[in-house]
Amino acid sequence: MGVNAVALSGELREIEPLRHTPAGIPLLNFRLTHKSQQIEAGYKRQVDCEVNGIAIGEVAVAMARMQPGHAVNLEGFLNRKNRMSAQLILHVTKAQTLKETDHAKTGIEQG
């Protein structure tokens, strides 16, 4: 088994309405915009991308209270969108909202 861990900050762009699986588990799809400057091979590189994500369980309920435009720190892992797709999406296991006024963090972790 290999490592599959992602930590990403950004701004929530789209948040779909909270829905539930047939088993009653909360599920939320969203899109995150990430902008940063990274060092690659000793050179500065501008990063500007959008990532599709999904939150399940308590994290989905917490993220459903967030609004587009909120700055967040997300942790999770990558997986295929579904068995028939090669497209990757971020599965969130921890979400923290960053308040611009005091940069305080509030969040929930799925365990």
Give pLDDT, residue 98.
87
C-beta neighbour count of 62 within 10 angstroms: 22
Give pLDDT, residue 109.
54
Spatial separation of the C-alpha atoms in residues 46 and 57, rounded to whole Å: 34
pTM: 0.84
**Cβ(54)–Cβ(27) below 8 Å:** yes
Give pLDDT, residue 103.
40
Spatial separation of the C-alpha atoms in residues 11 and 70, rounded to whole Å: 6
Q: What is the mean pLDDT of residues 16-43?
A: 97
Buried b (16+ CB within 10 A) or exposed e, 84-104: eeeeebbbbbbbbbbeeeeee
C-beta neighbour count of 111 within 10 angstroms: 7
Is the pLDDT higher at 111 or at 99?
A: 99
Give pLDDT, residue 104.
41
Give pLDDT, residue 105.
43
Q: Which CATH superfamily is domain 6-109 in?
A: Nucleic acid-binding proteins (2.40.50.140)
pLDDT (tens digit per residue) in 47-94: 999 999 999 999 999 999 999 999 999 999 999 998 999 999 999 999
